[in-house]
């Protein structure tokens, strides 16, 4: 099997997995991969990702011009092209609408709290790119701010985007984001999250190299958390204030992690756990639910984890 044939088959398999897991519905989502130095292999538009065949794929150049294929490339092609322009190391891009992670994106709550060690070592944090009209030039502009520092992000009121060194690497990061969102949702419904202390986050960051993980940027401490907790130093080499470079693009992965003071896990208050737009400077928002509503949400979240 040739390299291109293999990549076409991989895209079909990943599309099938995304549809089976409920990450996409109808014709949602799109997948692309580099095909040589200046060509991309991409899913077509208006096709359900669970029912694709290898011959459906499109070949484009890095400017988005179709070079091969009977169908037109994905309507979200501009977002993929921007990722490849900004990240020479990225070989594949996956976009989907995993329901719980997308729920966080709709609620304006970033997945940037130090909760799971595995997420800290792989993705660091999962920010939210500002809302942009899908399939327009606004979307790649929104993604550009975060893509240099992150391999995964939420798209406000839209879905999620992940990238990787190959197709399956990009897809597995999408699984990680949705899994992270499920666990975060359950913890918040149960009343609180125990956050991993900043000292432990630093330790986990040092383990990235041991695990062979090549992160696009180091972890840095969230500025608002520093002010709330007390004096601190960034957890990595950041750019200017807020971890942004001169162009306004993020230069580090912002993680909310309080100082532990000898503790490795720090209990967090329910109000902070439910804070809308965490890590984005929004005001705290209180969520009120009846006992019946809370029970139904917990039961649904537990079912989704099975």
Task: Centre a 10 Å sphere on the Cβ of residue 212 and count the other Cβ atoms it contains.
Answer: 6
Residues 6 or more apart from 70 whose CB is under 8 A from it?
A: 55
The sign of the dihedral angle between the CA atoms of 238, 279, 253, 41 is negative
Two tokens at 213? 């993980």
CA distance 25 to 28: 6
Q: Identify whether 76 is a catalytic site residue.
A: yes
**Catalytic, out of 76, 82, 193, 200:** 76
- DSSP annotation of 128 reads E
CA distance 13 to 50: 8
Two tokens at 282? 């929004």
> Where do the H-state alpha helices sit in the chain?
3-20, 77-86, 99-107, 117-122, 138-147, 167-189, 198-211, 223-229, 270-273, 291-305
CA distance 99 to 177: 11
- Angle at which helices 167-189 and 3-20 pack, to 10 degrees? 20
The sign of the dihedral angle between the CA atoms of 208, 114, 167, 155 is negative
Catalytically active residues, by annotation: 76
């Amino acid at each position: 099997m040739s390299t291109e044939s293999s990549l076409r088959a991989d895209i079909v398999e990943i599309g099938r997995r995304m549809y089976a897991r409920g990450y996409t519905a109808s014709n949602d989502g799109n997948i692309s991969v580099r095909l040589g130095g200046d060509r991309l292999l991409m899913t077509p538009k208006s096709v359900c990702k669970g029912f694709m065949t290898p011959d459906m794929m499109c070949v484009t150049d890095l400017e988005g011009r179709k070079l091969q294929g009977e169908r037109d490339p994905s309507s979200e092609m501009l977002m993929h092209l921007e990722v490849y322009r900004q990240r020479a190391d990225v070989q594949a891009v996956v976009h989907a609408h995993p329901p719980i992670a997308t729920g966080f994106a709709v609620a304006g709550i970033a997945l940037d709290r130090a909760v799971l060690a595995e997420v800290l070592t792989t993705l660091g944090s999962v920010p939210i790119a500002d809302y942009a009209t899908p399939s327009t030039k606004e979307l790649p502009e929104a993604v550009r701010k975060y893509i240099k520092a992150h391999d995964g992000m939420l798209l406000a009121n839209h879905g999620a985007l992940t990238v990787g060194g190959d197709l399956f690497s990009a897809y597995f990061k999408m699984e990680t984001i949705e899994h992270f969102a499920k666990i975060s949702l359950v913890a918040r419904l149960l009343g609180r999250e125990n956050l991993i202390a900043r000292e432990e986050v630093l330790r986990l960051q040092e383990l990235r190299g041991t695990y062979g993980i090549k992160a696009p940027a180091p972890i840095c401490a969230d500025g608002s958390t520093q002010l709330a907790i007390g004096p601190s130093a960034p957890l990595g080499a950041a750019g200017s204030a807020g971890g942004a470079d001169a162009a306004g693009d993020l230069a580090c992965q912002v993680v909310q992690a309080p100082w532990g003071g000898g503790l490795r896990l720090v209990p967090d208050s329910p109000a902070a756990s439910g804070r809308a737009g965490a890590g984005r400077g929004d005001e705290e928002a209180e969520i009120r639910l009846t006992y019946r509503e809370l029970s139904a949400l917990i039961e649904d979240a537990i079912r989704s984890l099975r």
